[in-house]
A and B are shown apart, each in its own frame.
Chain A
Amino acid sequence: DIVMTQSPDSLAVSLGERATISCKSSQSVLFSSNNKNYFAWYQQKPGQPPKLLIYWASTRESGVPDRFSGGGSGTDFTLTISSLQAEDVAVYYCQQYYSTPYTFGQGTKLEIK
């Protein structure tokens, strides 16, 4: 199985400031034939299902604010929120869909400082 490891486990950022979450996979999730990273980010607010934010490592899902951006390739990825808003308080998960079983990171809890 591909192990996904997020850092940090929790993060407190002031409103309007930048928040960055990292995720590392135990093996590359870059598919060489199409040069796509089979990697996604999700946001989960309390009592709600996860919501897809980013796929192919950097493609924003429709309707996701442009303050959310994804980067990285191969085994190292980041999710950046450029200017934290109150509604961004949530747990964020990374996920690989390069191979089954699909696996998720342990989650990063983002709070307001």
Chain B
Amino acid sequence: QVQLQESGPGLVKPSETLSLTCTVSGGSISSYYWSWIRQPPGKGLEWMGYVYYSGSTNYNPSLKSRVTISVDTSKNQFSLRLSSVTAADTAVYYCARVGYGDYNYYGMDVWGQGTTVTVSS
């Protein structure tokens, strides 16, 4: 079955750019939307945005212009970049697939295990 794996640095300095990649295995990245969600320590879930396999994107306005999500279909990967990070961006970052069935997209049905990113000098 489809599996997702996040990768990237676990420590990022304030004001720098956080970069993570999610590798999709066991299935194709095509025909789905792919999301990034984060969870600060001890807190709830925040949807950051998604990318369609074609490259179209939708972002959470709360992140303003700091977030960029892209897709590389040749590698079956999609990526997250978050610029100008602060301590408030310290979180577990998850990648996830938006489920599809019956001609509709629905909740996020496949998740990566998550990767912890700490913002600190």
Q: Contact size class for A? A: 20 to 34
Q: Would you call B54 an interface residue if the criterion is a C-beta within 8 Å of the partner chain's C-beta atoms?
A: no
Q: Which residue of B lies closest to A38 (CB)?
A: B106
A92 CA to B5 CA, complexed, in Å: 23
With A50-B45, A104-B44 in contact, is A95–B111 under 8 Å at CB?
no
Contact B58 A55 (CB under 8 A): no
Secondary structure of the B contact surface, majority rule: strand
With A55-B106, A56-B106 in contact, is A101–B60 under 8 Å at CB?
yes
Contact A97 B107 (CB under 8 A): yes
Contact of A49 among B46, B62, B112 (CB under 8 A): B112
Which residues of chain B are near A55, meaning CB under 8 Å?
Answer: 99, 106-107, 109
7 contacts between A and B (CB under 8 A): A40-B107, A42-B107, A55-B107, A97-B105, A97-B107, A101-B62, A107-B44
Interface residues of B in 10-39 (CB under 8 A from A): 35, 37
Contact A49 B107 (CB under 8 A): no
Q: How far is the CB of B109 from chain A (nearest CB, A)?
A: 5
Contact of B44 among A36, A48, A93, A97 (CB under 8 A): A93
With A101-B60, A102-B47, A104-B45 in contact, is A50–B111 under 8 Å at CB?
yes
Q: How far is the CB of A56 from chain B (nearest CB, A)?
A: 6
Q: Contact size class for B? A: 20 to 34
A38 CA to B59 CA, complexed, in Å: 18
Contact A51 B111 (CB under 8 A): yes
Contact A103 B47 (CB under 8 A): yes
Contact A101 B61 (CB under 8 A): yes
Which residues of chain B are near A42, meaning CB under 8 Å?
Answer: 45, 107-108
A100 CA to B51 CA, complexed, in Å: 13
Q: How far is the CB of B98 from chain A (nearest CB, A)?
A: 8
Contact of B47 among A34, A61, A104, A105 (CB under 8 A): A104
Q: Name which of A34, A51, A61, A100 has the most chain B CB atoms within 10 A of its CB.
A: A100
A36 CA to B104 CA, complexed, in Å: 10
